[in-house]
Structure 1
Amino acid sequence: MKKKWFSFVFLCLALLYVTRPVLLASLKGMDLSKSDLDSSILCDTCIGLVTTVRKLAKLHVSQELIEKAAIEYCEKSGLADERICKLIIPEFKDEVLYVFDHTALSSREICGTILNDKCGSTYDPFNQQWNVTIPGGKPPIKPYHPPKVNITNRILHISDIHWDPQYTPGLRAQCDEPLCCRPPLPNGGPNNSAGAWGDARCDIPLQTVVNLMEHLSATQDQFEWIYMTGDLPAHNDWSQTRSGQVDIFNKMIDLFDQYLPNKPMFYSFGNHESDPVNSFPPNYITGSNSISWLYDAAADNGGFYSVDYNGIRIISLQTNYCNKQN
């Protein structure tokens, strides 16, 4: 019973964090630049969630009812519209329930971790200063003198393309959903419609990515190789699938191969490559919650590795393990 109660708390708090921009954007006419207003809204919502969960816990609810209750709370609290709520809860449910069933954190510690603000007496166990005594004391510092070389490397660094396959010119560019310029939104007005090449309020269409590739192909004499540091998919976190993430990855890699076939590319994952977003379980997590599906799909083109190239060592680190939202 305790696990079910914890699971629902974590599920709702994760939902609260993911849909936080939607919640704040819905407060039209209010000054959201002040952190105290932001904190107050999130704290009040958290208190309401915990109170509701304690009542549900006494009813011995099932996971199906947990999901239904989370969707209903999402809709009634205005965290997102009905369509988003019904998609985002199932998207995160299985992983969130698994994590919460295996965590040693208390509910107060989870609130302090997920709600990135000072909410009463919340406590963040991952943001504490520890003093570690080094046996034998601190070793002497030996200045490093790099070798002198007459090599100049020009490197192209690309990150956060965020291609949206559903981007549609003419649709609303400003909306109440976390991501606009895509179905099922209606057409927008003169100052609120997606442009042919993109909109700063949305992710970008494929033709803009292709135009970028054409430009890079025409100017490729200005760089020797490429660093690609991920975040290829769009921000539609509520409706993504593993197969869809792999398709986007493969499509982007194919474009680089097509337009820059002679340029070596070194790729690292961003936090948006996973499904759900920000989900990079450690290697000992196996089965349906494993991240091996992504690593296997990208094994020939990227990952986390160390390689010697053109006189330097290139190291790709899995920094998503350190992401607080992971």
Structure 2
Amino acid sequence: MKRALLTGISAAMLLSPLAAVTATPASASAVTASVAATPAYKEAVKQGNTLAKGLKNYSAAVTAGDIDRMDMLFDGVSKQLRVVESSIGKVAGPGNRAELLGKYVTPAKKELERTMYEVSQFRLALKIYEKITGGDVLYWHNNITHRHGYKEFDADLLKLERLKKRAAAIKKAGNYSPLPSLIYWEIGIEESMAASVNLLIYNLKFEYFLDEEENIFEAELYYDDFTRYLKHKENLIEGLPPIKDKTGLYKVYVQSARSTIERIKYEVSQIRLLKRVEELAKAGRISEAKAELSKLRGLRQRAALMREESQYKPLPAAVDADIHQYEQKLRTSYQL
């Protein structure tokens, strides 16, 4: 069963009630026998004990760093907490209610508040990965194309970053003890898988511009964004603890994208050099434009040397042809 994200839960929803139930009023007296015998009180205690049992199991999962089990138990504990609060609200006497709230509700709210953003991170990371792959990883890997979008998943990954910040803020505000590192390790694995697959989509789109459309100018427009995206995902994967699949993640996703960038970096540099030449020429700074244009030969030599020494797939002939055509247009238009 899919569990809902907890992103709609705000800190105020848990922190504010806690302030009211943390301590029992000094004037509150022990529960009288007559109140303890009422159906409302008995029901509140019954539901409270059920909550306490569920909370014990949940806390054990937290202590063990078992985010999968935390994910499974969180909604049940949250639901039972609401039942308990409703039951306690029917008990007579503010002192009696405060005692029950302090015994059952406060510990549950503190534990849920302490961990809710980690559970949300885990669920969101899983949701992103499942949405990207369609729930069938093997089929997806065999059928992925450049037509798969990556920007919508970027928005989800940014949401994940915001959840991390909220988690840190709530730990500080509530003075809560840190969670076991294993929890963040598991979340990091899911996030890295989602980010890595999204990087693959971006890489395929980039390669499509080069090898199918043979449009080096379109690739140049995306080059910086792709490079930044690669660096972010590379740092994310490298930040993981040593794991069996880490090398595989790096090789399949990061090295593949890096090869794409390396494969065209000198062609991108040539286009950008020619764009600077055009700007200078349009401004009437012909001498400076000629000086810049003289650097083009060196870039071409480095590009040729890199292609000889590397195992990269050759670029389409149209790439060099388009760059030469751009150069010739500038030379003719501005007599360079």
Q: TM-score range by the shorter chain?
A: under 0.3
Structure with the largest fraction of strand: 1
Length-normalised TM-score, structure 1 = 0.26
In the superposition, the TM-score normalised over structure 2's length comes to: 0.26
Q: Where is the helix percentage greater, Structure 1 or Structure 2?
A: 2
